[in-house]
């Protein structure tokens, strides 16, 4: 993540608002649209140069009111899609998911490991750092966001994933000296 010059990046990491389901084309609920408007107001005074979103409809709809206020394009990025646990249905999926936080290379049929998903979202952050945008919003999903935060803080795991809200906002500050994150939103 070196550009050769002084680095000071702020990335707002946003989990989408309440949606009607988990499918890629699942829209926001009526409550989710109200949350998206509240989120736009919450972010409106912050400096933002760029918005990058998962292509899933719920992520795009969550940031659209803010993008409209700031007159910014929403860039869609496949690497921000939700982590795929498995192509097989598990009645005990919560236990299976917890196990992937304990063993980051655990892989179920048709899914990706925590490390694979983490590397995907970290590559987005690395690309942002290499760009000249200093204030970026990324919009994604709870599982992949929890892995991003785990990358910077090993204590962020399954229990913290369960505590994420819809929406949720973290500020990730990356400098030459350190990378820190702060939770800005908590609507539980």
Rounded Cα gap, residues 41 and 63, in angstroms: 11
Computed over every residue of the chain, the mean pLDDT equals 94
At residue 176 the predicted structure's pLDDT band, cuts being 50, 70 and 90, is: confident
User: What order of strands is seen across the sheet that includes strand 135-140?
Assistant: 74-76, 50-53, 135-140, 8-15, 168-175, 179-183
Rounded Cα gap, residues 12 and 165, in angstroms: 15
Using the predicted structure, report yes or no on whether residue 2 has a pLDDT greater than 80: no
pLDDT tens, position by position, 41-75: 999 999 999 999 999 999 999 999 999 999 999 99
What DSSP string describes 101-161? HHSTT---TT---HHHHHHHHHHHHHHHHHSS-SEEEEEE-HHHHHHHHHHH-TT--HHHH
Place of tokens 């000071």: 8
Using the predicted structure, report yes or no on whether residue 152 has a pLDDT greater than 60: yes
Per-residue confidence (pLDDT) for residue 5, from 0 to 100: 52
Per-residue confidence (pLDDT) for residue 8, from 0 to 100: 86
């Amino acid at each position: 993540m070196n550009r050769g010059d002084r680095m000071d990046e702020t990335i707002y990491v946003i989990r989408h608002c309440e949606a009607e389901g988990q499918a890629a084309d699942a829209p926001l609920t009526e409550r989710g649209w109200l949350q998206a408007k509240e989120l736009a107001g919450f972010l409106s005074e912050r400096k933002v140069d760029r918005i990058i979103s998962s292509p899933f409809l719920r992520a795009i709809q969550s940031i659209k009111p803010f993008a409209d206020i700031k007159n910014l394009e929403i860039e869609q990025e496949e690497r921000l899609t939700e982590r795929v646990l498995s192509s097989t249905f598990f009645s005990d999926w919560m236990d299976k998911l917890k196990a992937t936080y304990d063993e980051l290379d655990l892989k179920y049929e048709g899914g990706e490991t925590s490390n694979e998903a983490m590397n995907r979202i970290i590559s987005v952050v690395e690309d942002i750092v290499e760009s000249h945008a200093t204030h970026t919003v990324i919009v994604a999903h709870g599982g992949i966001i929890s892995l991003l935060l785990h990358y910077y803080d090993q204590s962020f795991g399954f229990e913290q994933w369960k505590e994420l809200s819809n929406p949720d906002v973290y500020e990730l500050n990356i400098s030459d000296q350190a990378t820190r994150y702060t939770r800005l939103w908590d609507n539980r």
